[in-house]
Amino acid sequence: MFEVFKNRLEITGILWTVTALRISAGRSTEPIGSDLPVIKDALSRPLIPGSSFKGALRSRLESFLRGIDSSLAEDPANFTSTTRNNLVQTYKEQYENDDIALTQALLGITDAVSRLFGSPWIASKFQVRDLTVIANAWFGQYQERDGVAIDRDTETAAQGKLYDFQVVPAGTPFEFRAVVENAEEWELGLLMIGLHQFETEQITLGGGRSRGLGVVKLEIDKMLWIDVNNNPEKLLTYLKQLVAPDEEPKYDNGKQFKQQWTKALIDYLTSKTSSHTTTKAV
């Protein structure tokens, strides 16, 4: 695939648990302990997989875009693996010696969400590290809660169906780090919309959400932005700063571009919906 470094956005912050959080590690096999423990790192501290955060974010953005036009976030189940593989293979054979043309052809069968989050034929531009608990704010305490299956006929607790599960307490801070590379302005706008949902407690994580678990709040600390597109001198300066022991690479404050990126997203979606309406009319 044809690839050139164009830009990079580094996002750091803290993800707080507003209510208790349960991201299960599966049923425990230990004779003593919780039936359903939470996932932990090697030091037995709670962990939020980056894939859990990214999956919840992608799902919310897909629901938004499908509300505008279903073609902007297609259901993978409607695009079978056989059809997909045949089409991708056809493009690879057709553009065997033309990486740029192959890239454009693959982008043509890629919906808006997959352009940012990736698909089986295009790598993701957005990466989220596993969210680790901030060590000096963690005191090794989990909460144990009880659960029970309900008998649908009697509407009472089913016999022998009592279990307990583990949760991370409310008020626990996790370190958030994410990177976006080579994103278009509208793709960055899409990401800003999604992160805003986490900032305003609109997206929940983990299990037990119908019980009120999993409410989180993202507080973004820094958004470091470097854009070297079509400017070799700026890229050379950036690379020199990376290897200089006493010099920090110079970044722009990405927060100042949030409105610009969001506007680019609105313009992109408007153009897509307009062209789709025109095609339908024809």
Specify the amino acid at residue 197.
Q
Q: Do 115 and 137 form a contact (C-beta atoms < 8 A)?
A: no
Inside any domain, residue 89: no
Q: Which residue has the higher pLDDT, 8 or 109?
A: 8
pLDDT over 80 (residue 197):
yes
Residue 96 falls within a domain, yes or no? no
CA distance readout (Å), 74 to 55, 59, 127, 137, 275: 15, 12, 21, 41, 17
Per-residue pLDDT at 62: 94
With bands split at pLDDT 50, 70 and 90, how would you rate the model's confidence at 163? low
Is 88 contained in some domain? Answer: no
Task: Work out the average pLDDT over 120-137.
Answer: 91
Residue 48 domain-assigned?
A: yes
Instruction: Name the residue with higher pLDDT: 154 or 228.
Output: 228
**In the predicted structure, residue 61 carries a pLDDT above the cut 90:** yes
What pLDDT is stored for residue 131 in this prediction?
A: 95
More confident call, 241 vs 255: 255
134 is a domain residue: yes
1 pLDDT more than 60? no
Q: Is residue 90 part of a domain?
A: no
What does the pLDDT read at residue 14? 98
Q: Domain of 257?
A: 7-74+111-281
What is the reported pTM? Answer: 0.83
Please write the tens of the pLDDT for every residue from 70-98.
888 876 656 555 666 778 788 888 888 88
From first CA to last CA, the distance across the chain in angstroms is 35
Model pLDDT, residue 32: 45
* Confidence band for 28, pLDDT divided at 50, 70 and 90: very low
Number of domains in the chain: 1
- Least confident piece of the model among 95-99, 166-170, 186-190, 230-234: 95-99
What integer pLDDT is reported at residue 150 of this predicted model? 61
- 29's CB contacts (< 8 A; 6+ apart) are none
222 inside domain = yes
How many Cβ atoms from other residues are within 10 Å of residue 160's Cβ?
7
**Quick check: is 1 in a domain?**
no
For the cut 80, the answer to whether the pLDDT of residue 42 exceeds it is yes
| pLDDT for the residue 91 | 85
